[in-house]
Amino acid sequence: MRCGFAITLAITALGACGSEPAAEPAARTAVAQAPRSVGYDLRRLRPRNEEKLVDMFERMRAQAKSEGKHVAVLFSADWCEPCRKLELELGNTQPEAAIGHVRILEIKEEDWSRVTRMNELNELRRRWSAPLGVYPLFVLLDAQGQKIEEMPEAKARLEAAGAEATIPGWFRGLKG
């Protein structure tokens, strides 16, 4: 089983409760100019009606593209420890400029195995990775839906460049 990014969690001290002196104008300006934080744009693809997974994926990829977003696809499983750690990171907020331009389409093994439609999951997954049952598989796609880079490749590239290997760091490189 492959491990993903080292998940970096930051805790910001907000100060004690109670009355505090009025903020200086410069401090108010700094707060007003702080980057807006957003959650990851994560959409989970679940079986519904008779719509095939590949059709659902293409529909959602086209929608993201029409909204000017890059697309990443994440294959995960509840039993996978690295997947659970990755889910914790995906529950965080980040500066909008770092992650707001990427939509993540998540496909969980359990959703598809429960309704005996794993063949659809495996068919879609083979577009970007031949080995099946290896989780997580997290891939950034180009406008045509082809693989740009897989998470372990991004981790190695970022570390070689002396940058912190985080998901926002990975996504930040997609601007333009």
User: pLDDT tens digits, the chain, 176 residues: what are they?
Assistant: 444 443 332 222 222 333 334 445 555 555 557 789 999 999 999 999 889 999 999 999 999 999 999 999 999 999 999 999 999 999 999 999 999 999 999 999 999 999 999 999 999 999 998 888 889 999 999 999 999 999 999 999 999 999 989 999 999 877 54
Nearest Cα to 169, choosing from 7, 43, 3? 7
Determine how β-strand 93-95 pairs with β-strand 70-76: unpaired
Amino acid at 115: V
User: For residues 22 and 68, what is the distance between their CA atoms, to the nearest angstrom?
Assistant: 41
Domain 39-172 of CATH type 3.40.50.300: no
- Kindly report whether the global pTM for this prediction surpasses the value 0.75: yes
Q: Listing from the earlier edge strand, what are the strands of the sheet with 147-150?
A: 41-44, 102-108, 70-76, 137-141, 147-150
Buried b / exposed e along 77-96 (16+ C-beta atoms within 10 A): beebebbebbbebbebebee
